[in-house]
Structure 1
């Protein structure tokens, strides 16, 4: 079986577009998770291996071809959330308070 390289699927414009598209379906908690990872990856002090984990997880989130198609009601994003959660658990030491605050500010701007 050929496994896609999800980190190559990541792009900043696609990330923001996907968040806007799935914002209501993802919910605040899941969006906050994705945003924390995004800001951690954008930080120059985050190690390359951690950025690789993060970009793979975010690439999985925005890629329409994954284990459970995102279009399916209710269950479509569950695999994406599991991947994001696993990525956060893996790189948690590199997600700082600053990343969390930036994520919360972005979330506030999205939801008003």
Structure 2
């Protein structure tokens, strides 16, 4: 992460950039989240951030910051490759933690309720 500044990653970008970022995040979020669920200690917050970022009622700048962070999270090649167990998601966690702290208060109860429903419906790992 030394070469990459979190502040640079979290730039919200213009509307066109956000549209591209949202398309990428929507396509890759759930497969990435499924792999990361046990390694990201605040999965509920990350999922609520996804719902906040894709909510048209969320202010554009907030959506941009979250989409940038989630875009980094779903990026297959980042500062620390996610395939490395335990440490692979540490850079993603740093970016997501910063983004969530920056937009604190914009993730609404409805976003957390959606996250809770998804987590309740998620199959347990190893379950057939």
Q: TM-score, normalised by structure 1?
A: 0.82
Partner of 1:25, secondary structure, is coil
Go from structure 1 to structure 2 and tell me whether the alpha carbon gap of 1:5 and 1:87 turns closer, same or farther (over 3 Å shift).
Answer: closer
**Does residue 11 in structure 1 map to residue 25 in structure 2?**
yes
Question: CA offset at residue 2 of structure 1?
Answer: 9.0
Does 1:20 find its partner at 2:15?
A: no
Q: CA deviation at 1:104?
A: 1.0
Q: Aligned-pair RMSD on alpha carbons?
A: 2.5
Unpaired runs of 5+ in structure 1? none
How far 1:67 moved relative to its partner? 1.4
Contact 1:33 1:85 in 2 (8 A): no
Aligned to 1:36: 48
Query: For the Cα contact (< 8 Å) 1:33–1:84, is it kept in 2?
Result: no
Pairing 1:75–2:107 present: no
Structure with the greater alpha carbon radius of gyration? 2
Paired position in structure 1 for 2:116: 104
Does the CA contact (< 8 Å) of 2:51 and 2:114 recur in 1?
A: yes
Q: Following TM superposition, by how much is the alpha carbon of 1:30 offset from its aligned partner in structure 2, in angstroms?
A: 2.7
